[in-house]
């Protein structure tokens, strides 16, 4: 944002406002908008406070430009946060995949007891806990990236009272009242 901005008065004279003055205007505009003031009333209030004679369009543009800059910065920040989160998830998946691969293959367990030592060997297909964590991380990654479609739910609004006539319905309601 520039340190100063040139705003034109209606009479053709130029006025230069500092960034601090513009920030003060923006704060006032936001407060007035929360109160429900229209743009013409906001211009009257700010002109009276600042000793200016500016059209409401000037304030509207100032507000819209700053809001779009804030939205742009927020979007850029959100994109950076998403990229950081995805990078972290990818790193975790890589580490878990290495651990998964290491858990496969020939496994040995040695025990020493009163009768001597005993070595047991077996072939393992991998520790399922690693794969469970990898699956959770992949699901989270897909959710963050928006790859998974939203679940469709079939909602049946038909109730037990929908097919009753008015007489049957009033009779049923009387029975319910009697029970209660």
- The domains of the chain are located at 4-54, 80-145
pTM reported for the whole predicted model: 0.42
Q: How far apart are CA 144 and CA 44, in angstroms?
A: 46
What is the per-residue pLDDT across 64-118, written as a single tens digit (0 to 9) for each?
A: 777 777 777 777 788 888 888 898 899 999 988 988 888 887 777 777 777 777 7
What is the per-residue pLDDT across 74-85, written as a single tens digit (0 to 9) for each?
A: 777 888 888 888
- 162-170 long-range contacts, CB within 8 A, separation 24+: none
For 61-115, where are the E strands, in sequence order? Answer: 104-113
Give the SS3 label for residue 163.
coil
Based on C-alpha coordinates, what's the Rg of the chain?
35
Mean predicted lDDT score pLDDT of the chain: 76
Closest CA to 96 of 129, 74, 71, 63: 129
Closest CA to 43 of 26, 58, 56: 56
């Amino acid at each position: 944002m520039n340190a100063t901005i040139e705003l034109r008065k209606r009479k053709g004279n130029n006025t230069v406002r500092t960034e601090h003055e513009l920030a003060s205007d923006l704060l006032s505009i936001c407060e007035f908008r929360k109160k429900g003031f229209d743009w013409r009333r906001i211009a009257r209030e700010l002109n009276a406070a600042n000793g200016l004679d500016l059209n409401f369009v000037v304030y509207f543009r100032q507000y819209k430009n700053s809001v779009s800059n804030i939205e742009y910065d927020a979007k850029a920040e959100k994109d950076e946060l998403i990229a950081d989160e995805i990078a972290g998830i990818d790193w975790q998946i890589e580490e878990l995949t290495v651990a998964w691969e290491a858990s496969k293959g020939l496994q040995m367990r040695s025990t020493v007891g009163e009768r001597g030592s005993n070595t047991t060997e077996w072939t393992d297909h991998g520790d399922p806990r690693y794969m469970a964590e990898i699956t959770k991380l992949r699901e989270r990654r897909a959710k963050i990236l928006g790859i998974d479609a939203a679940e469709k739910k079939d909602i049946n609004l038909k109730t037990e009272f929908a097919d009753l006539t008015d007489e049957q319905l009033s009779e049923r309601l009387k029975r319910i009242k009697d029970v209660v």
